[in-house]
Chains A and B, each alone.
Chain A
Amino acid sequence: MIETIAEIELAVGEKIVVKRNRILPQNKEDETKRIAIVSGIHGDELEGQYVCYEVARRLTEHPELLHGIVDIYPALNPLGLESAKRSVPKLEMDMNRMFPGNKNGNMMERIAASIVDSIAGADVCVDVHASDTEVREIPQVRVSEEFADKMLPYAKLMNVDMIWMNATATVHEATLAHSMNVLGVPTLVVEMGLGMRINTKYGNQVTEGIFNLMKELGIWSGKVKQTQFPVISTDGEVEFIRADHTGVFLPSIEHNHYVHRGDLIGRVVNTYTGQIKQEIIAKKDGLVFTLREYPMVYEGALLARILTDIESSERGN
């Protein structure tokens, strides 16, 4: 059943409408557990569209196996999604810096507050993001250190390649995930793929993880494929590689590739002269879990992130 969560009038002949699809179990007594799957806070992140579709499709195919409520929110920032803009159009603000919102505030503050209200009370929430349009990411769950103890057991069920425990930056306090975690709804932030694109392989992987999580919560009684055990990392094990020169970045390796110290990761080149301005060499062994896709770089541009202190056999590649 498609339900409207928030509805506010725009200037000319249209409303901004945020909706969810509430999928109910066949047995009313099963309506005691609830999972929320949300996506589309950033309008340039489309990976979650496939996950929402696939979860809804599988549930609709086998309603008899559902023993809880599944709420699917594919488009929290519908204007951004349909304008291919990361932020909220016109306002030019990042919606994921507006939570928990304000019931008496401006348009987007009210929408943020309505979203928080509608998710509140769920047993768990999965917030599916993609990377931005610049770097590609492997499927991962990001957990702030503040909530790590509570979140890790859920994150491990998600069939992702990696769990990254970030130090909590102050700005994270205004995200949906932080707001929901503060309200007692364990909220997992999934990152994968690339902005403006859909990688169905990654989408299927995370979808399996969501069904695995639902099975563990008693919401799903169907079969779940065997899921993988993620590498768990902290900030200290992640090496950031940035451009020291401006130019065009040409990667020499594939994304999600294990490199050894001394391997060439890529080059920053000058397209006028044919000159190589920087050769990016791995300083440690590790997994390239982030790799730049957008080639134009200024100094400081993120080129790659390497997860160190793991063996290649742990990754199986």
Chain B
Amino acid sequence: MKGEIDVIIKDIYTMKAPFREEMIVKGYSFGKGDKAACILGPVRGNEVQQLYICSQLVRALKELEANSCISSGKEILVIPVINNYSMNVGKRFWGEDNSDINRMFPGNKDGDTTARIADGIFEEIKDYSYGIQFTSFYMSGEFVPHVRMMETGFQNASLANLFGLPYVLVRKPMPIDTKTLNYNWQGEMTAAFSIYTNQTAQIDEVSARQAVAAVLRFLTRMGVIRYESHSGYISHVIAEGDLSNVPAATGGIFRSLVKVGEDVRYGMALAEIVDPYEGSVKQVITAPTDGIVFFSYTEPLIGQYDIAYQLIHRLHE
């Protein structure tokens, strides 16, 4: 009956614990047929914004399925969270050994605990045509919402444009990146996209809505769902190496004067670093180029050479 539907919720991976409740990674399955798209939430315990976005996607897809808007012959799997264990103890990485599950892919069924978790998840998700992961960066700060992908030779920046987010960023993988989900998904010929919004440990409603809309837009354009949405942006594709890093020349209290997405000019004051003892301004960080603020450091304390901003060189609004 239209408007009423029982969503299929399946256990993607389970692991018993000595004293805690069993860890159960749940997957929400929408539609039936080819493995069209898999959407994955936090693998790290502080990715609260990413959890929120996935939960909102589950809500939206429930409505779409109830209204028969999932294309026939297509299945969408949403895993709202992998690492609820770390979330519940306030740790970014795995509580017991501090390992990062997003550095464990494709995993190993005979390996360490987190390698087994990665393997269990990867076996379930590796055959989807499109893989979308909500994740976060090691540096603390805000990004302009964007789609990020590894340059593996299989990456498809044109397809990433279809999310309609302002930017698509392509990163040359370092050795350590070869253990990420994005890299390994691409190795299985899944078109893999990592989506970054401007928050991680806090919820930002505006960018969360933007992310939900971007995923629904992408799924519509790929023929997986039927959904009317705004066309979004025609994305600007940038290589990570082309971003201008703006480091702090000194340590102190960080007082930002600009926001991510702002169009700044050469020489413009971007931030002040305040002497933590005397309150005077030790340094005014100025823009080394015209451009758009792509990343902004957001912690109140900053060390010397910490990256305060990343600018998209010579790009204007």
Which residues of A are in contact with B by a Cβ distance under 8 Å? 8-13, 16, 86-87, 91-93, 97, 104-107, 110, 132, 134, 170-174, 240, 242, 245-248, 270-271, 296-302
Contact B178 A132 (CB under 8 A): no
Give A145 to B286 CA distance when docked, in angstroms: 48
| Contact residues on B (Cβ < 8 Å of other chain), bracket | 35 or more
Q: Are B18 and A107 in contact (CB under 8 A)?
A: no
Partner of B302, one of A11, A13, A104, A247: A11
- Judged by a CB distance under 8 angstroms, whether B115 is at the interface is yes
From B98, B116, B139, contact of A86 by CB (8 A):
B98
Most chain B CB inside 10 Å of its own CB: which residue of A16, A246, A247, A297 = A246
Q: Once the chains bind, are B305 and A300 in contact (CB under 8 Å)? A: no
- A171 near B301 with CB under 8 A, answer no
Contact of B303 among A10, A86, A105 (CB under 8 A): A10
> In the bound complex, how far is the Cα of B87 from the Cα of A312, in angstroms?
47
In the complex, A227 Cα to B291 Cα: how many Å?
Answer: 63
- Residues on B facing A (Cβ under 8 Å): 15-18, 92-93, 96-98, 103, 110-116, 138-139, 174-176, 178-179, 245, 247, 250-253, 276-277, 301-307
Out of B18, B96, B305, name the residue touching A8 (CB < 8 Å): B305
> In the complex, are the beta carbons of B307 and A106 less than 8 A apart?
yes
16 additional A-B pairs beyond A11-B252, A242-B110, beta carbons within 8 Å, are: A9-B304, A10-B303, A12-B276, A13-B276, A13-B277, A92-B93, A105-B305, A106-B139, A106-B247, A171-B175, A242-B112, A246-B17, A296-B18, A299-B16, A300-B110, A301-B113
- Docked Cα-Cα span, A50 to B256, in Å, equals 45
> CB-CB < 8 A to B116: which residues of A?
299-300
Is the CB–CB distance between A174 and B306 below 8 Å?
Answer: no
Q: Would B15 and A298 count as touching, CB distance under 8 A?
A: yes
Instruction: Tell me the dominant secondary structure on chain B's binding face.
Output: loop
A12 and B301 contacting across the interface, CB-CB below 8 Å = yes
| Cβ A107 vs Cβ B113 within 8 A | no
The answer to whether A248 and B305 have CB atoms under 8 Å apart is no
Nearest B-chain residue to A270, judged by Cβ: B18
A172 to B178, CA, bound (A): 12
Chain B residues near A91 (CB, 8 Å)?
138
Closest Cβ neighbor of A269 among chain B residues: B18
CB distance from A108 to the nearest CB of B (A): 9
Contact of A246 among B18, B93, B139, B253 (CB under 8 A): B18
Residues in chain A near residue B112, CB distance under 8 A: 242, 300-302
Would you give the shortest CB distance from B102 to chain A, in whole angstroms? 13
Residues of A within 8 Å of B115, CB to CB, are: 300
Can you name the residue of chain B whose Cβ is closest to the Cβ of A243? B113
Question: Could you say which residues of chain A place their CB within 8 Å of the CB of B251?
Answer: 9-12
Is the pair B305, A106 in contact by a Cβ cutoff of 8 Å?
Answer: yes
A132 to B94, CA, bound (A): 15
CA distance A87 to B16 in the complex (A): 27
Given A13-B276, A106-B247, A298-B17; A8-B304 close (CB under 8 Å): yes
Question: Out of A86, A170, A296, which one reaches B175, CB within 8 Å?
Answer: A170
- Establish whether residues B178 and A170, one from each chain, have CB atoms under 8 Å apart when the complex forms: yes
Supposing A92-B92, A92-B93, A298-B96 touch, asked if A174 and B305 sit within 8 A by C-beta, the answer is no
Known: A87-B98, A92-B138, A302-B112. A9 touches B174 (CB 8 A): no
Could you tell me if B111 and A300 are in contact, using CB atoms closer than 8 angstroms? Answer: yes
Q: Which residue of B lies closest to A44 (CB)?
A: B98
Closest to A245 in B: B16
CA distance A170 to B177 in the complex (A): 10
